[in-house]
A and B are shown apart, each in its own frame.
Chain A
Amino acid sequence: MTSEEIEKRIAELGKEISADYAGKDLVLVGVLRGSAYFLVDLTRKMHIPFAIDFISISHYHDQGEGAGVVRITKDLDLSITDKHVLIIEDIVDTGLSLGYLLRNLKTRNPADLNVCTLLNVEARRIVEVPVKYKGFDMPNVFVVGYGLDYKEKYRNLQFIAEFDRRKETR
């Protein structure tokens, strides 16, 4: 996906979200770290007031084999009770971590809770998660760029590209 395609799609999403949330108390929740680039560019295309907050959770591979459960490593600073909450993701694939986030945030009684993701990989889905806004549907390939990394590299690429891990030299 070229930077032009991404920019165009994000502009459309910004417009759509602005229309849907006009007059509502909106909190955008960015999921660290991948969604940072998307969140910044998306909000620049929005023309309604909103608040921004971030959340981060631990991942399966952070733990030893079979150890522990998912937990929040950086919680929201704002209260989302009775607010209209939109979770901003860079990519939704298995739905496992997003599913946990949704369950967690729902307990804080927001007015409503929706998801916006730049990339959606339905082929990898394990648990169903409601995705209201999505930039692009993608096949089951590994990609980097525009916030998506491989070992923390390539996040800053302005485009999104398939990444061949076999050719990566360490």
Chain B
Amino acid sequence: MGLITISREFGSGGETIARLVAEKTLFLLVNKDTINKGLADYGIEEPDASLEKLATEEESDQFFQQYVEAMHDLIYDLAIRNSLVILGRGGSILFRDYPPALHVRVISQFTRRVQRIMKIYDLNSETAVKLVKEQDCNMRNYYRKVFDVNWTNLRPYDLVINTEKMGLEDAADLIIAAYRIHAEPREMRDSAVPAELENGIFTAQAGEEEEKFMHPSEEEFAGMLDFYRIRWQYEPRTFLLEWDSEGNVMEAFSPDFYLPDQDLYIELTTQKPKQAWKKNRKIRRMKELYPHINVRLIDKRGFESLLKKHRLDEDEGEES
């Protein structure tokens, strides 16, 4: 079996490189998705659990141990039947005693990674800096906790690629060439170069269909904005709130309205306060990640008084 492990710094382009390598070599790509799908057979009921987060919470120790063991069993079992490209998950350490394996680390300068994250997720620099720092920290914790190794140590790798001076496609070709040299006379089958380089990368953009409101209250609110000649857009943008280590989006938030002239996002909630905590949490997280974006929550009480004022009672004298 063939085996390439690719570990990468967040924002270095390692995910794309791993996919390209897998496509060109026809190896099976093992990433978070593959593992989540496979873990059910290994007795793990919550494969979506964010490992890096678990690694930082001492209380979840037992589940964490079980999860990591199951994941390792799964990867070993996959490796028996398939040639693999393993993205992250500590693959280089799991297979460090397996000589044919090629262990690759993809790196890039902090500022370059921030720029890349800004571009692919459409973030401002402050948010991207925060995110990259967070992910770096999670990665360090994960390696220390699971393998007791220092994440920043590059010595265990056969090949370290800096993506600052190299395109992702070239990096993939370089890895394949290195693998050939490393593991001769292993058979390699070249396949066509995939056209979609950045395929599958989530970009934050909502559909541009006719305005279809999710809730009558939103339609009412839009009518009121129209009346006061305030320009609005309905759910024009999705803000990404949580990522896992592979850049998969775990949580996102689309505020109901954007008022371009006020540069303001508005979220309506007609839920009772008890059910609105989730929305409140999302808004808190959004303010944390996007401090320059103005967002306002109009809660059930505020919205009801608004409707009452404007609809049920006639001329109450509020706002003259």
**Residues of chain A whose beta carbon lies under 8 Å from any beta carbon of chain B:** 31-35, 56, 59-63, 65-66, 68-70, 89-94, 96-100, 103, 123-128, 140, 142, 144, 147-152, 155, 165
Contacts and interface: CB of A to CB of B under 8 A. Distances in A.
B53 to A, nearest CB: 35
Given A100-B229, A151-B316, A152-B315, 10 more contacts: A31-B320, A59-B310, A59-B319, A66-B223, A93-B309, A98-B319, A128-B262, A148-B317, A150-B317, A151-B315
Interface in B281-320: 296, 298, 301-302, 305-306, 308-311, 313-320
Interface string B87-119: 000000000000000000000000000000000
A149 to B, nearest CB: 4
Top 8 closest A-B pairs, CB basis? Answer: A149-B317, A34-B320, A96-B228, A31-B320, A60-B310, A66-B223, A34-B317, A60-B227
B48 to A, nearest CB: 37
A69 B315 CA distance: 17
Contacts of B158: none
B259 interface: yes
Given A66-B223, A128-B262, A140-B305, A60 B228 contact: yes
A148 B320 CA distance: 8
Contact of B301 (A56, A60, A61, A140): A140
9 contacts: A34-B320, A60-B310, A61-B310, A61-B311, A70-B227, A90-B317, A91-B319, A100-B228, A140-B302
Contacts of B320: 31-35, 56, 89-91, 97
Contacts of B305: 124, 140, 142
A56 B302 CA distance: 25
A140 B306 CA distance: 11
Contacts of A165: 308, 313
B177 interface: no
Nearest to A96: B228
Contact of B315 (A31, A63, A149): A149
A35 B317 CA distance: 9
B319 A127 contact: no
Q: Which of B228, B229, B302 has the most chain A CB within a 10 Å cutoff?
A: B228
B92 to A, nearest CB: 53
B224 interface: yes
Q: Which of A33, A70, A126 has the most chain B CB within a 10 Å cutoff?
A: A126
B318 to A, nearest CB: 6
Contacts of A155: 317
Contacts of A93: 309, 318-319
A97 B226 CA distance: 12
Contacts of B306: 94, 124, 126
B266 interface: yes
Contacts of A125: 296
Contacts of A60: 223-224, 227-228, 310-311
Nearest to B317: A149
A70 B113 CA distance: 49
A147 B226 CA distance: 28
B68 interface: no
Nearest to A150: B316
A91 B226 CA distance: 22
Nearest to A30: B320
Nearest to B263: A128
A32 B259 CA distance: 27
A92 B320 CA distance: 9
Given A32-B320, A35-B320, A123-B302, A59 B230 contact: no
Nearest to B316: A150
B262 A142 contact: no
Q: Which of A34, A61, A96, A142 has the most chain B CB within a 10 Å cutoff?
A: A61
A108 B225 CA distance: 23
A65 B223 contact: yes
B319 A97 contact: yes
A116 to B, nearest CB: 13
A63 B227 CA distance: 9
Contacts of B316: 142, 148-151
Nearest to B226: A69
A152 B317 CA distance: 7
B264 interface: yes
A122 to B, nearest CB: 11
A70 B223 contact: no
Q: Which of A32, A89, A93 has the most chain B CB within a 10 Å cutoff?
A: A93
